[in-house]
Structure 1
Amino acid sequence: MLLIYIKTLTPRINYTFRQVCSSILGYEVGFTSKIEEFVAHEGMKISYGKQKMGNEFFIQEAGLLNEQGFNDTELKFHEWENTTCFFKVSDKSDVPFDIFSASFYLLSRYEEYLPHVKDSVGRYPYKESIGFKHGFLEQPVVDIWAYKFNTLLKDRFPKENSVKREFNNKNILAVAEAFKFRKKGIVRSIGASIRDFFKLDIANFIERFKVLFYLKKDPYDIYDGLVKESHQNQFKWHFLFQLSNYSIKSKNVSYNKIKYQALIKSMGDYGKIGLLPGYEALYDFSTLKLEKKRWESIVNRPLKLIGSYNYDLNLPTLYNNFDKLEIERDFSMSYAETLGFRAGTCSSYLYYDINFERISPLVLDPIVFNSNCIKYHTFFELKTKMEKIKDEVRKVGGSLNILMNNKDFDNWDKEKKYLNLITYLNEK
């Protein structure tokens, strides 16, 4: 057991030490505020505080984990070997910065609670993040710091062993619009055809005609092909389906369509399935609750997985709403316009609500590749960066999580490059 000496056990200290030391490094963690118990402990131990007591392994605190709420904290950045860190402390500390305050700052998304300007669709801009500004957005720095910290611990306690994690993947398919032309209803189909005609979008007009008269498969109906290819390459998907009312931001087929309900149920035979909330559900609890009820009436089991693909997290309200509805896992922690680790980690972790200083049971699975970013980068840029990111994640035994949209595989027979990239990224 790794014993930590602290003067006061705060929710932040409990949360961060258990994530870094237990979830990432695999140690059983205990806390004590009794010096006698700490001195008598014969195994691995560290002290965390303002002052060093003797010759123990010591990490000097910066103070963030003893605070409540959020303040505009001044951060100073410096290099630690091949990565960047902040909350630098004195030379008395065995780690050159407060690794736990820095980890909490990223995991809790502390900076997103501070005043900031949203982008054009109401999202927290990735360019406002310290990860982007200081060049470590594409590194899982929390995990990298943890592994470096573990190396120092093993030098001091060579007889102790941590549990080594294995590199893994999660592939999530967001289905906001199940079909491009089919099952949209007569009125919508006629209206869209007239619009294409007057806009002189002849290609779309002809394609819709072929699909509706069964001369061609719907471009977004890639599910059978995706399952077949994935099975051949031995990897699986999580499927998130939208069940929103038709609106300006939701163009999906009706959740009442038997064909759509059958699709949702059938994908449950090939992977885990969950809900993709509509735009309105991200901001209104009653709408979210209604969409959850629809999902459960179709699938006939409790909703456990959820994720947002294109819109803002709306922290902390959205995660608190997920929590109220007893949803277990979320796949929303990503940036829609770029690659990277929004929370600085490639490990699953619990959501922490700074407003109430509360550890939630909601598990967050951070996404490094949200396919919304495809339109902002060339395929070569994405492939080159993802190869480097995969190497970083593999070194720390983390999870490489990818969020795609069924629209990304439009033109299935001609465009398989993204599926080939995903296949490569899933290779162990």
Structure 2
Amino acid sequence: MLLVYTHKITPRVKYIFKHICTRVLGLEVSFTNKIEEFIAHDSLKMSYTKQQLGSEFFIKNHELLFEQGLNDVEIHFQDWDNTKCFFFNGDKCELPFDIFAASFYLLSRYEEYLPHVKDDYGRFVASESIAYKHGFLDQPVVDIWAYKFKKALQKQFPDYIFPEKTYTVKPIIDVPSAYIFQKKGVMRTLGGTLKDIFRLRFKRLYYRYMVILNLKHDPYDTFKYIINRQKNSNAKFLFFFLIGDYSTFDKGINVNNKKFVSLIKQVADYCRVGLKVSFFAIDDITILKKEKIQMETIINASLNASRQSYSRLNFPDSYRHLVELEIPEDYTMGYVNQIGFRAGSCTPFFFYDLDYEVQTPLKICPYHLMDYALLKTKSLLDKKKVLNELIGKIKAVNGEFVPVFHNYTFSDSERWQGFKELFNMILESAHEN
């Protein structure tokens, strides 16, 4: 166990030390503000304060972890080996930066509480983030800094045996609409027909009615293939089904459709199933509660995971609603069109509410790649290269790789050619050294 001496034990201090030490490095950690207790401890220990007590392992603290609420935080970036960091604390410490304050800034999403420009869907975009602006969005810096901390501890305590973590994969299958032509109802089918005619999409029109007449397979219905992949994989797939009402933004299948409900139940027999929160439910807890109850009725179990439609988050309300409804996990933290680490980490962490200064029970599982982001890379060979580089970075810190694919990604559509192979690469990466 690591004992941390600090002049003031704040919720922020406890939160970030437990993340870095326990969740990333597997070390138990405790805290004290009594010098006598610190001196008497005969195992791993360090001080985190303004002045070093003696010759102990020491990291000079930045004020961030001892403040409350939001303040004007001054940030200056500097190179640190093959990465970057901020909150420089001089050369007299075991580490040249206060990685705990820097990690807290990223994990708490401090910058997303501050004024920023949003896109048309009300989302915080990658280009607004400090990680993108300073060129480290493609690195899980919180985990990299944690391993630098571990290396420094090992140097000071060479006889201590540190636990080892392993790289894992958690594939996400996002289902905004289970079918493209089937089960859409008379009015939506008629509207789609007229749209096809006006846009001269006669091939699509032909295919639409061949599917409706059960003469062809619906392109979005790839669930048999995905379930077969699940059966042959050690990674447990997590599906997110949209069951919210039809709207401008959400065009799923009616939750009263028996075939759709049967599909969700069938998938739940083999995989984990969560709720894809509809666009308007993100801001309205009454709609969210209704969707939660509907999904729990379908799967006959408590809802354990959610993912917000369009990867849209409204800090801090979106997460507060999930906490209030006792949904324990969320998989929205990431960027739709940009590969990388939105919170700087590939290790799940808990939502810290900056307004109330409390760690909540909501576990945030950030995703690092959505299939759409790979469309920016033209050739399949280049896609494989980008994917292998990302996997390598997560493996280097024994992190958890969370990729998001859609049910239609596994169709025979020309747009998604080669994506089955990319998905298989991800699954196989968990078995490679």
CA distance in 1, matches of 2:359, 2:207: 51
DSSP 3-state at the match of 1:280: coil
Structure 1 CA distance, aligned partners of 2:347 and 2:172? 16
Deviations 1:166-198 (A, max 9, x none): 100000111111100000112221221122112
Task: Note closer, same or farther for the CA distance 1:279–1:136 as it changes in structure 2 (3 Å cut).
Answer: same
In the TM superposition, residue 93 of structure 1 has moved relative to its aligned partner by 1.4
2:328 paired with 1:331: no
Tell me which residue corresponds to 1:410. 411
Whether the aligned pair in 2 keeps the contact of 1:309 and 1:336 (CA below 8 Å) is: no
Query: For structure 1, which segment, 64-73 or 307-316, has the greater mean C-alpha deviation from structure 2 after superposition?
Result: 307-316
Q: How far apart, CA to CA, are the structure 2 residues paired with 1:415 and 1:122?
A: 27
Please show how residues 228-377 of structure 1 align to structure 2 within 5 Å: 228-232=228-232, 234-377=234-377
- Asked if structure 2 preserves the Cα contact closer than 8 Å seen for 1:122 and 1:311, the reply is no
Residue 250 (structure 1) shift = 1.3
Structure 1 residues 26-175: aligned runs within 5 Å? 26-175=26-175
- 1:120 CA drift (Å): 2.0
Partner of 1:386: 387
1:20 counterpart = 2:20: yes
TM (normalized to structure 1)?
0.97
- 8 Å Cα contact 1:184/1:253 also seen in 2: yes
> Following the alignment from structure 1 to structure 2, what is the Cα–Cα distance between the partners of residues 281 and 418?
31
Alpha-carbon distance, 1:233 to partner: 5.1
Q: 1:336 to 1:414 in 2, by over 3 A?
A: closer
Q: Residue 174 of structure 1 contacts residue 309 of structure 1 at CA under 8 Å; is this kept in 2? A: no
Once residues 126 and 71 of structure 1 are traced to their aligned partners in structure 2, the CA distance between those partners, rounded to angstroms, is 22
* Residue 200 of structure 1, CA deviation: 1.0
Return the alpha-carbon distance in structure 2 between the equivalents of residues 416 and 233 of structure 1.
22
Q: Distance in 1 between matches of 2:415 and 2:110?
A: 43
Pairing 1:423–2:397 present: no
Asked if 2 retains the 8 angstrom alpha-carbon contact of 1:171 and 1:237, the reply is yes
CA displacement at 1:375 relative to structure 2 = 4.1
Separation (CA, whole Å) in 1 of partners of 2:133 and 2:53? 37
Matched, 1:181 2:181: yes
Please state how far the C-alpha of 1:412 moved relative to its aligned partner. 6.5
Cα gap change, 1:377 to 1:415, in 2 (>3 Å) = closer
Give the distance between the partners of 1:90 and 1:414, measured in 2 at CA.
Answer: 51
Q: Please provide the CA RMSD for this pair.
A: 1.5
Answer yes or no: is the 8 Å Cα contact 2:278–2:309 preserved in 1. no
Distance (whole Å) between structure 2 residues aligned to residue 422 and residue 416 of structure 1? 12
Mapped partners of 2:416, 2:41: distance in 1:
60
Secondary structure (helix, strand or coil) at the match of 1:260 reads: helix
The 2-side partners of 1:292 and 1:24 are apart by 31
Give unmatched runs, 5+ long, in structure 1. Answer: none
Number of residue equivalences: 428
Residues in 2 aligned to 1:232 and 1:403: alpha-carbon distance in whole angstroms: 19
Counterpart contact for 2:230–2:270, Cα < 8 Å: no
Q: Secondary structure at the match of 1:352?
A: strand
CA contact (8 A) 2:230 2:271 kept: no
State how far apart, in whole Å, the 1-side matches of 2:425 and 2:261 are: 32
State the distance in 2 between where 1:195 and 1:426 align: 39
Deviation of the 1:414 alpha carbon: 9.7
Q: CA contact under 8 A between 1:52 and 1:92: conserved in structure 2?
A: no
Please tell me the residue identity of whatever aligns with 1:70: L
Query: 8 Å contact 2:184–2:253 — kept in the other structure?
Result: yes
Q: CA separation in 2, counterparts of 1:346 and 1:94? A: 24
- In 2: Cα distance, 1:413 partner to 1:197 partner: 22
Moved over 4 A (4+): 412-416
SS in 2 for 1:307: strand
Q: Which amino acid aligns with 1:369?
A: L
Query: 1:223 offset after TM fit, Å?
Result: 0.2
Q: Could you give the per-residue CA deviations for residues 243-273 of structure 1, whole angstroms, max 9, x where no partner exists? A: 1111111111100000000000000111100
Distance in structure 2 (CA, Å) of the matches to 1:241 and 1:289: 15
Structure 1 residue 383 displacement after superposition: 2.8
The aligned counterpart of 1:199 is 199
Q: CA deviation at 1:96?
A: 0.3
Deviates more, 1:73-82 or 1:383-392: 383-392
What residue is the counterpart of 1:399 in the other structure?
Answer: 400
- Find the aligned partners of 1:316 and 1:361 in 2 and give their Cα distance: 14
Cα-to-partner distance string for 1:85-140 (whole Å, 9 max, x where unaligned)? 11111222111000100000111111111110101221101011111111111111
Task: After superposing the two structures, state which structure 1 stretch, 304-313 or 144-153, moved more.
Answer: 304-313
Q: Which residue of 2 aligns with 1:208?
A: 208
User: Any conservation in 2 of the 1:47–1:56 contact (CA below 8 Å)?
Assistant: yes
Over the matched positions of the two proteins, sequence identity in percent amounts to 40
Shift in CA distance, 312/380, structure 1 to aligned 2, threshold 3 Å: farther
Displacement of 1:81 after TM fit?
Answer: 1.1
Note the alpha carbon deviations across 1:344-394, whole angstroms, 9 max, x for none: 000011111111111011111110012232444435544322211211111
Quote the residue 2:9 is aligned against: 9
Contact 2:311 2:333 in 1 (8 A): no
